[in-house]
Amino acid sequence: MLYSMTGFGRAEATINNRQVVVEIKSLNGKQFEVVTKLPPILRSYELDIRNLLNQALLRGTIDITVSVKQEGASKPMTVNTGLAVFYYQSMQQIADQLGIPQEGILSTLMRMPEVVAADQDVLPEDEWNEVKKVIAEAAQHLMDHRKNEGKSLLKDLNSRIGNIENLLKQIVPLEGDRIEKIRTRLTQYLQDAAGKENVDNNRLEQELIYYIERMDFSEEKTRLAQHCAYFYETIQKEGLSKGKVLGFTLQEVGREINTLGAKANQANIQQLVIGMKDELEKAKEQVLNVL
Walk along the chain (291 residues) in steps of 10 and give the mean pLDDT of each run. 89 87 90 88 89 90 88 60 78 77 72 65 81 92 92 91 91 73 70 64 66 72 90 85 89 90 80 91 90 85
Question: What pLDDT is recorded for position 210?
Answer: 65
Q: Residue type at 191?
A: Q
Contact residues for 172 (Cβ-Cβ < 8 A; gap 6+): none
**Pairing outcome for strands 18-27 and 77-79:** unpaired
In this prediction, residue 74 carries a pLDDT of 43
Coil, helix or strand for 199? Answer: coil
Beta strands, E only, 2-59: 7-15, 18-27, 32-37
Per-residue confidence (pLDDT) for residue 50, from 0 to 100: 92
The whole-angstrom separation of Cα 227 and Cα 234 is: 10
- Residues 35/64, Cβ–Cβ less than 8 Å: yes
- The end-to-end CA distance of the chain, in Å, is 11
Q: Which pLDDT score is estimated for 77?
A: 62
Domains of the chain in sequence order:
7-74+124-147 (3.30.230), 77-117 (no CATH), 148-287 (no CATH)
Under DSSP, is residue 102 helix (H, G, I), strand (E, B) or coil?
Answer: coil
Asked whether the beta carbons of 290 and 241 are under 8 A apart, the reply is: no
pLDDT of 203: 66
3-state secondary structure of 106: helix
Q: What is the DSSP string of 264-276?
A: H-SHHHHHHHHHH
DSSP class of 103? T
**What is the spatial distance between Cα 155 and Cα 290, in angstroms, rounded to a whole number?**
12
Instruction: Please state, in angstroms and rounded to a whole number, the distance separating the CA atoms of residues 151 and 145.
Output: 10
8 Å CB contact between 115 and 34: no
pLDDT of residue 217: 76
Q: Which residues contact 3 (CB under 8 A, 6 or more apart)?
A: 143, 146, 147, 149, 150, 240, 241, 290, 291
Closest C-alpha to 221, from 180, 178, 175, 183:
175
pLDDT at 73: 42
Helix (H, G, I), strand (E, B) or coil at 27: strand
pLDDT at position 137 is: 93
